Structure 1
């Protein structure tokens, strides 16, 4: 004799409809997060029935019916920069605010990235947001079998919209600030130079420095991290260098900590220090670094605006530029 307790079946949408005295279609509309027509009386009866039965809508089943799953893929190289944390916290909140959830996919570099992209994924998503510069729009479409791809990595691929920060504007302002303060020589600390975004950033610095007659003493490559800035700091000739421009705030923080003696009360005694990204930590007393950055809320708003138009997302090659600006602080 089998005395094992029977498992109660979870209530279904049909059970809710029966208890509320409405059709299954009406119950579905009443429980939908989308603005769908149903009378206030029937909606109230359905919600009360669902609460009584402990019914929870199945998002997968709903997705199969609507051909959406309310899931967005975000493709990244990594998440370890301070700027990543600031940006993705805000982006995640805004995507969830429009009723969608996120999966992060870390692609990495080199041959591993090519294999990863070629082999594809077993995810069904409504859209893919591509921050990784190891991926192009065509490959991502094939990965997800979906044309809804938004490029956020500096690539402008045919058939895919993009949102890009206009970094040149902020760089021009920062270099002009340095020139106005008597800077005549400068060193550039860069991130990963194989990145298309970083290549454009470096080119903007070179052009701006030349325009103001500032001698560029060289370029030292890091990886955007605090550790790389700290490691490169001893290579700075503080007697010959008027300014150090870092292509990330985290690197600038590493430089500042290594050369604190040259920044009494955070002010430059030997060389001026400029960062990039305008991360939230630069607003605190410990790291008042002059920086460059876009309004992240504006940047995220542009992403979400496009994300909310799936038909346009899959067809229109819209290119949106979000301006950056120079933010002066004590180290500059």
Structure 2
């Protein structure tokens, strides 16, 4: 039984002192990274927990799931985390949440995270370094990337919305509604490019298919203020866009407010705009923002199912892409009415 395994058992197996085993579970202790990895790997294999309290937790929650998130101040990501934690707990798992500012910090903290002996690691909001995935694999701990899949050059398990398809759909919406000078606001100036990178790639592909190129671009950071700055940049120039895609709703709302307050321009009369995420504020009367909606319920359900599969079979392959949809509101024109006006 796992609760009969002791630190001495691990020490004897590796021919080290019992105190060395104890230090391996303290992220602040001085111990070589290689030795720490070996001790934690054996502890994981034996189902060892370093304290009696942890073993009591293990009886109620046989599987700890480490959830690593970049930024929970982002309203969409905060919503994802709330639903994910609730569903993991509902399925009998104990989620331990770790917040990291960027991928570099993740690399520095992975040893401490793995010292909790999670049965799986779920990461969201950043592109995990290949070294992190390799270390987890060596430790026998499966990983799953949430809502940031299809990363070129990185073999990893993932469950994600179809961000590329969402960007493609945004381009199709604007071109089908008569926009010819189309600009975009990305979110790629943050520490680690996230799903915005895939949205922009899909959007530019959509423009290319329509025989067009973007007339202007602004690198934002998914904040309201970056949307404000983009509007001032675009409408302060001589060639103004008649269509805009923002890679999240918050930037789109900042863009709309600045366009109205600084230039007297409103959507859809003076320009058309599409956001991304379908956050609650996008439905408010002040915005009525047309946007690309993610089915986060389906994403979370598939993520928890993927975690369960990985816990049962760590080498299981998870590749899930959940479709998105366009939600038409007041910031884009009705294509049927446009056709009648011709």
1:212 aligned partner: 210
Distance 1:72 1:110, change over 3 A: closer
The TM-score with structure 1 as length reference comes to 0.72
C-alpha separation in 1, matches of 2:96 and 2:225: 28
Distance 1:127 1:275, change over 3 A: same
1:161 aligned partner: 157
- Deviation per CA, 1:70-104: give whole Å up to 9, x if none: 43211122122221122222222212211223222
Distance 1:280 1:90, change over 3 A: farther
1:223 lines up with 2:221 in the alignment = yes
C-alpha separation in 1, matches of 2:195 and 2:313: 22
Distance 1:310 1:177, change over 3 A: closer
Moved >6 Å (runs of 4+): none
Work out which of the residue numbers 141, 144, 169 in structure 2 matches 1:150.
Answer: 144
**CA drift at 1:108:** 1.9
Conserved 8 A contact 1:227-1:254? yes
| Structure 2, gaps ≥5 residues long | 1-51, 333-342
2:177 aligned partner: 181
- Residues 1-332 of structure 1: matches in 2 within 5 Å? 60-62=54-56, 64=58, 69-109=62-102, 111-117=104-110, 121-136=114-129, 139-140=132-133, 142=135, 145-152=139-146, 153-154=148-149, 155=151, 157-158=154-155, 160-192=156-188, 195=193, 197-237=195-235, 240-260=240-260, 267-312=267-312, 314-332=314-332
C-alpha separation in 2, matches of 1:70 and 1:59: 15
Distance 1:161 1:143, change over 3 A: closer
C-alpha separation in 1, matches of 2:130 and 2:240: 45
Question: Between Structure 1 and Structure 2, whose CA radius of gyration is higher?
Answer: 1
C-alpha separation in 2, matches of 1:88 and 1:267: 33
Q: Secondary structure at the match of 1:60?
A: helix
- Deviation per CA, 1:165-207: give whole Å up to 9, x if none: 2123333332222122210011110002552633332221111
C-alpha separation in 1, matches of 2:62 and 2:264: 53
- Deviation per CA, 1:12-46: give whole Å up to 9, x if none: xxxxxxxxxxxxxxxxxxxxxxxxxxxxxxxxxxx
**CA drift at 1:119:** 6.4
The TM-score with structure 2 as length reference comes to 0.70
Q: CA RMSD in A?
A: 2.9
**CA drift at 1:63:** 5.2
Distance 1:272 1:106, change over 3 A: same
Distance 1:304 1:263, change over 3 A: farther
Q: Secondary structure at the match of 1:216?
A: coil
Q: Work out the number of aligned pairs and report it.
A: 272
C-alpha separation in 1, matches of 2:144 and 2:253: 32
